[in-house]
């Protein structure tokens, strides 16, 4: 019997108040083991709410989450023991040393041979010289590496990363991305990351789930999304979606995994045909077709 997927999400909805639209609206996806997926969307798109529900911090209004084969409604602690999470917006206690912080989480996650694991992580993440330093005295890059060490202390099968390289300089950000690529290849850990760094998403993710107003408005590999929107980079795809510009090709959800159409349209226009912009909105800059985007050469129109 094949292992359960890393995440199975069915009709996930979160409505904070009855008189307001849902923050997450009918999200469906199945994320396989060992995959790296990106959760993209503008501010207020529902990323934080989605991650909160995946981590059990939030109870969905309706729908179901299964993490590593465990139903998050009834068996969340079994799943949480095999998951972990890192975010620059959730800190580690500043007065505790790096080693003390890692020791706390090694205990909370029931890590066997905790001291050996801490030394191992410190070596891998270049933290050995920092183990005795208070976490609050570290630079942003050092804090990111410590947060990663905390997130990996229990050798998770599923890792949720919120903005893993936010506020890092390009060199440190690149180091973290390379490290994550290598870690996933070596361990088969599934990674779901929320990021506003499109280059990061393009580099790390097999699949991208685009959220807008709580709904999954598109999904696919970065290459598929680039081709679908006729763009050269994910930032332009992000802007197309954020500004309701229509793709050149219809979204193609995986079988049995229905993605809703883009807001305000029943179906995508035929390939190569520009769609009319929504009322009061500037027309999208012209885009290349599928072939040009796939070739990745000279794809950007002069006006784009």
Q: Does the protein bind another protein through residue 87 (CB under 8 A)?
A: yes
Of 56, 69, 260, 269, the one binding another protein (CB under 8 A) is 56
Distance CA 3, CA 11 (A): 22
Task: Indicate the residue among 44 and 296 with the shorter CB distance to another protein.
Answer: 44
Residue 213 tokens, joined: 């107003």
190 by DSSP, 3-state: which? strand
Of 4, 26, 71, 97, the one binding another protein (CB under 8 A) is 97
Instruction: Tell the smallest beta-carbon distance from residue 77 to another protein (Å).
Output: 5
Judge whether 164 and 180 are in contact, CB under 8 Å.
yes
Site map 110..129 versus another protein, x via CB under 8 A? x-------------------
Of 52, 278, 285, 294, the one binding another protein (CB under 8 A) is 52
Long-range pairs for 22-25 at CB < 8 Å and ≥24 separation? 22/61, 22/214, 23/49, 23/214, 24/49, 24/50, 24/53, 24/60, 24/211, 24/214, 25/213, 25/214, 25/215
Task: Indicate the residue among 1 and 89 with the shorter CB distance to another protein.
Answer: 89
Instruction: Tell the smallest beta-carbon distance from residue 211 to another protein (Å).
Output: 16
Distance CA 41, CA 36 (A): 17
Instruction: Tell the smallest beta-carbon distance from residue 58 to another protein (Å).
Output: 5
Judge whether 265 and 224 are in contact, CB under 8 Å.
no
Q: Does the protein bind another protein through residue 94 (CB under 8 A)?
A: yes
Write the DSSP symbol of residue 297. Answer: S
Q: Does the protein bind another protein through residue 69 (CB under 8 A)?
A: no
Q: Does the protein bind another protein through residue 223 (CB under 8 A)?
A: no
Distance CA 169, CA 20 (A): 38
Instruction: Tell the smallest beta-carbon distance from residue 8 to another protein (Å).
Output: 19
Instruction: Tell the smallest beta-carbon distance from residue 52 to another protein (Å).
Output: 5
**Nearest to 216, CA basis, from 40, 32, 22, 6:** 40
Distance CA 55, CA 98 (A): 24
CA distance readout (Å), 231 to 205, 241, 284, 295, 299: 17, 12, 12, 11, 7
Q: Does the protein bind another protein through residue 73 (CB under 8 A)?
A: no
Distance CA 148, CA 84 (A): 10
Q: Does the protein bind another protein through residue 269 (CB under 8 A)?
A: no
C-alpha angle 232-235-239 in degrees, rounded to nearest 5: 110
Judge whether 176 and 148 are in contact, CB under 8 Å.
yes
Instruction: Tell the smallest beta-carbon distance from residue 262 to another protein (Å).
Output: 27
Q: Does the protein bind another protein through residue 64 (CB under 8 A)?
A: no
Q: Does the protein bind another protein through residue 144 (CB under 8 A)?
A: no
Q: Calculate the dihedral angle through the C-alpha atoms of 280, 281, 286, 292, rounding to the nearest 10 degrees.
A: -140
Site map 11..50 versus another protein, x via CB under 8 A? ---x-x-------------------------------xx-
Of 7, 12, 45, 55, the one binding another protein (CB under 8 A) is 55
Q: Does the protein bind another protein through residue 91 (CB under 8 A)?
A: yes
Instruction: Tell the smallest beta-carbon distance from residue 60 to another protein (Å).
Output: 9
**Nearest to 48, CA basis, from 206, 238, 196, 152:** 196
Q: Does the protein bind another protein through residue 83 (CB under 8 A)?
A: yes
Q: Which residues bind another protein (CB under 8 A)?
A: 14, 16, 48-49, 52, 55-59, 77-78, 80-81, 83-85, 87, 89-97, 100, 103-110, 134, 150
């Amino acid at each position: 019997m094949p292992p359960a997927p890393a995440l199975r999400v069915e009709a996930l909805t979160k409505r904070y108040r009855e008189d307001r639209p849902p923050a997450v609206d009918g999200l469906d996806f199945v994320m396989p083991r060992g995959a790296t997926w990106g959760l993209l969307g503008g501010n207020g798109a529902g990323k934080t709410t989605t991650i909160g529900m995946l981590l059990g911090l939030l109870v969905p209004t309706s729908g179901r989450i299964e993490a590593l084969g465990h139903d998050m409604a009834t068996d969340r602690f079994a799943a949480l023991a095999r998951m972990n999470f890192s975010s620059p917006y959730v800190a580690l206690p500043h007065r505790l040393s790096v080693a003390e912080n890692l020791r706390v989480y090694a205990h909370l996650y029931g890590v066997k041979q905790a001291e050996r694991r801490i030394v191992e992580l410190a070596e891998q993440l270049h933290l050995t010289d920092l183990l005795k330093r208070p976490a609050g005295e570290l630079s942003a890059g050092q804090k990111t590496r410590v947060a990663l060490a905390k997130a990996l202390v229990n050798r998770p099968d599923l890792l949720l990363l919120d903005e893993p390289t936010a506020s890092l300089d390009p060199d440190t950000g690149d180091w973290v991305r390379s490290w994550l690529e290598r870690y996933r290849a070596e361990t088969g850990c599934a990674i779901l990351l929320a990021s506003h760094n499109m280059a990061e998403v393009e580099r790390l993710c097999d699949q991208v789930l685009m959220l807008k107003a709580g709904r999954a408005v598109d999904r696919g590999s970065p290459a598929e999304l680039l081709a679908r929107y006729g763009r050269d980079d994910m930032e332009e795809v992000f802007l197309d979606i954020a500004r309701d510009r229509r793709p050149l090709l219809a979204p193609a959800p995986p079988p049995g995994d229905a993605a809703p159409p883009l807001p305000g349209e029943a179906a995508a226009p035929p390939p190569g045909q520009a769609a009319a912009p929504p009322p009061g909105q500037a027309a999208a800059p012209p885009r290349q077709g599928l072939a040009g985007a796939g070739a990745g050469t000279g794809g950007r129109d002069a006006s784009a």
